[in-house]
Structure 1
Amino acid sequence: MAGKSVAMTDIRSLPHQIYHRRKCLWLCSSAGNLESGEVLGPQILRRGKLPEVVGKDAEMTAKLTSLRRPYVPFPLLGNRHVETIFGSFFRSRPVIRYRRECLRMADAGTVALDWPVAGKEAEVWNRELPVNSPVVILLPGLTGGSDDTYVRHMLLRARRHGWRGVVFNSRGCADSPVITPQFYSASFTEDLRQVVKHVGNCFPQSNIYAIGWSLGGNILVRYLGQEAGNCPLSGAVSLCNPFNLVIADEDFHKGFNNIYDKALARALRKILKKHERLFEGIRGEYNIPLAAEARSVRDFDEGLTRVSFGYKSVDDYYADSSSSLSIKYVQTSLLCIQAENDPIAPSRGIPRDDIKANPNCLLVVTPHGGHLGWVAGDDAPFGAAWTDPLVMEYLEVLENSKKESQSPRKIDGVHIPMVDSIQI
């Protein structure tokens, strides 16, 4: 597999790029027409607006200089759908080479960890890091992986700051091998638990952190709540977390949001098709034909996901998997970053009261940004998201406060055998 990118290799040729970018422009135009009332006037575009900040840690807030700058969307990109689509299609893609490490989980399933080993900026990647350099685990969104542009930008920024990064590709994502008839879900945290233990054992002198986007953020926050005071992570960041999956599901089928629903369903179908032989003859309430032909994420979850994880209905699955229920139990430093106009993670689902009541949590809500868009800041419109400097600044503050007062840490945990290690 040498020389092969981890995912999305089928759309990287120039003709496909041209086709998809033309389609993107059409989608942006359609989105702007559908919600023209959200397009910002010139005065607002120039002035911007400071993010909403919720939390009790005034000392931390004071140290985050990024919060003193207003959020100013790039001109003509203030519409939530335009920002979402533009960030997805037009954000630059840093050149990074990975070493893939496949881990067998306790239930015999497999996940893939992609460790960046080289990139275009040779001076960044050739610099040897100290053995105790902090490590950050990245959890992409639904069906996402190490090829996603927002993931690559964060890896590059972390490396520039002297951090090690690793991408946790869930079962079936980014060509992660699937050897059992089970993928992953919004409720399933056991794979993350074992990955954290493994990474901690690989770097016993380092503090371990995690960043999760969208569904990855939901899984991360659930994990933090479950671990409570026993969490081995030194800090975490959640971005565009849907939090309340019942509310998110309600909004997912409205208006222009159907575009996202169909796109994610298509990505889920593609993963299932690649591994459909594992599900042949499977017993129980599974409806594999429904999942294989799913036109919505809900259809896929009805046919496969909710059954795999023991739920009686999709609604039960969404209600139980909502990370909004976990916030009150989090005892690890956590930064949650949301966009007020996020079409996929509705702001009305943010557990503001629980975050405000938890001294370990800090919430930042930008007035605009869409879903994983945040096309603003010094790197706009094609560079890293507006949130990236804030995320790095938060993690650096945590690390600086820990490294002088904390002795080397060893994570206790079971040995996780490596299935394979390949150079990519």
Structure 2
Amino acid sequence: MPIIESTYKPSFYFKNGFISTVYSGLVRRVSLKQERERITLKDGDFLDLDWSFSNSKSNKLIILLHGLEGNGQRPYMTGTANHFNNNGLDAVCINFRGCRGENNLKYYSYHSGETEDLHAVIQHAILSKNYSEIYLKGFSLGGNIILKYLGEHHAIPDQVKASIAVSIPCDLYGSCKELHKLKNKLFHDRFLRDLVKHLKEKQKLFPEELSIELINTIKTLIEFDTIYTSKAHGFRDALDYYKKSSSLQFLHNIKTPTLIINALNDSFLSSECYPVKEAKRNPNLYLEMPNYGGHAGFVDKKNVYYNEKRALEFINANF
């Protein structure tokens, strides 16, 4: 598909990518009533799902996936859920394994290329909740999971009608290199602090898998992925994990109408994370590259973000 020309024009201060990213992550507030459901996965582990509903009974659902070390209560998740609830769709925010204050039951947890848990939630929505129209929206890591899922699976359920991916590091190694640069040190260090904190908690449950001494050697995100993420999830090392989990290589095979929104001033994304060639060659893939927005920071009027409006517009235009 041709590249979509973006109409996003934020106010002066939010044209700064750093400001829009930090404001959206730390300052924004969204009020939303959610109901928690815990489902058991086929390996015996669990996922916590946070549901919110439209005012009238709906057979339409949007499934939302958060980013690295996020959860179902992050404002970029609840903001989308609230906007869709107000427009006649139910919403469910997935909390990835171990991401809602309680350790999951396995040594492994979640990662950028883990798509089976998403598939399990989709099946749950179809078989147990009877939704006939399902839409997917993911942010950052969660968006990469959606794109990989749609491109690698040969039998996407008919109920899955469209997807939206926002601020997507579709080339994981390229994005990782950006996060390790000085410009992103504050973000890098915050991600690393939270990841190491949670890994230390997990180590207490699985001391035979990993020593606290080895955890204490972790100083970068790449080292974290080398020592834990790759080994826990069956990859050779961090680079093997990035290579096999990046959604970029799967974009050509996506048959579900999909919108990618990646801001040009997103400091987390490398040039490879703007899949212009892939979008032009795939009639199901739409790429929008606003000049502004930072990383998931598309601030707009009345606390409804631009990406939230565009997601609903995209769905309404296609269905």
Q: Is TM-score (shorter-chain normalized) higher than 0.5?
A: yes
Structure 2 partner of 1:220: 146
Residue type of the alignment partner of 1:391? A
1:166 and 2:102 equivalent?
A: no
Residue type of the alignment partner of 1:363? L
In 2, Cα distance between the equivalents of 1:238 and 1:287? 37
- Structure 1 unmatched runs, 5+: 1-54, 62-66, 118-124, 402-424
1:378 and 2:292 equivalent?
A: no
Structure 1 partner of 2:240: 316
* Cα shift at 1:107: 1.6
Q: 1:256-281: CA deviations, max 9, x gaps? A: 21111111111212322333322211
On the 8 A contact 1:279/1:288 being kept in 2, the answer is no
Structure 2 partner of 1:358: 282
Structure 2 partner of 1:156: 82
* Cα shift at 1:249: 1.4
Residue type of the alignment partner of 2:17? R
Q: Alignment partner for residue 230 of structure 1, among 156, 171, 175?
A: 156
Map 1:276-315 to 2 at 5 A. Answer: 276-282=203-209, 289-291=213-215, 294-315=218-239
Task: Report which of the two structures shows the higher radius of gyration computed on alpha carbons.
Answer: 1
On the 8 A contact 1:228/1:332 being kept in 2, the answer is no
In 1, Cα distance between the equivalents of 2:315 and 2:219? 39
1:387 and 2:313 equivalent?
A: no
Q: 1:318-370: CA deviations, max 9, x gaps? A: 11111001101111111100001111123442221112101111000001111
Map 1:103-252 to 2 at 5 A. Answer: 103-116=39-52, 127-130=55-58, 132=59, 134-232=60-158, 233-252=160-179
Residues 241/154 of structure 1: CA separation in 2 closer, same or farther (3 Å cut): same
Q: 1:262-321: CA deviations, max 9, x gaps? A: 111112123223333222112xxx566444663332222111110012111111111111
* Cα shift at 1:216: 0.2
TM-score, L = length of structure 2 = 0.93
SS in structure 2 of the partner of residue 100 of structure 1: strand
1:332 and 2:256 equivalent?
A: yes
On the 8 A contact 1:291/1:299 being kept in 2, the answer is no
SS in structure 2 of the partner of residue 339 of structure 1: coil
SS in structure 1 of the partner of residue 15 of structure 2: coil
Q: 1:88-126: CA deviations, max 9, x gaps? A: 2222x2222322111221122211111126xxxxxxx6x
In 1, Cα distance between the equivalents of 2:152 and 2:211? 30
In 1, Cα distance between the equivalents of 2:102 and 2:217? 22
Residues 199/250 of structure 1: CA separation in 2 closer, same or farther (3 Å cut): same
On the 8 A contact 2:200/2:215 being kept in 1, the answer is no
- Structure 2 unmatched runs, 5+: none
Give the number of equivalent residue pairs. Answer: 318
In 1, Cα distance between the equivalents of 2:66 and 2:216? 23
Residue type of the alignment partner of 1:157? H
TM-score, L = length of structure 1 = 0.71
Cα root mean square deviation, aligned: 2.0
Q: Alignment partner for residue 258 of structure 1, among 155, 161, 185?
A: 185
In 2, Cα distance between the equivalents of 1:105 and 1:142? 21
SS in structure 1 of the partner of residue 34 of structure 2: strand
In 2, Cα distance between the equivalents of 1:245 and 1:287? 27
On the 8 A contact 1:214/1:242 being kept in 2, the answer is yes
In 2, Cα distance between the equivalents of 1:291 and 1:102? 30
Residues 271/296 of structure 1: CA separation in 2 closer, same or farther (3 Å cut): same
Residue type of the alignment partner of 2:316? E
Q: Alignment partner for residue 12 of structure 2, among 54, 69, 75?
A: 75
SS in structure 2 of the partner of residue 397 of structure 1: helix
* Cα shift at 1:177: 4.5
On the 8 A contact 1:291/1:302 being kept in 2, the answer is no
In 2, Cα distance between the equivalents of 1:200 and 1:351? 31
Map 1:339-350 to 2 at 5 A. Answer: 339-350=263-274
Map 1:408-423 to 2 at 5 A. Answer: none
On the 8 A contact 2:203/2:211 being kept in 1, the answer is no
* Cα shift at 1:229: 4.9
On the 8 A contact 1:78/1:368 being kept in 2, the answer is yes
Query: Identity over aligned residues, as a percent?
Result: 28
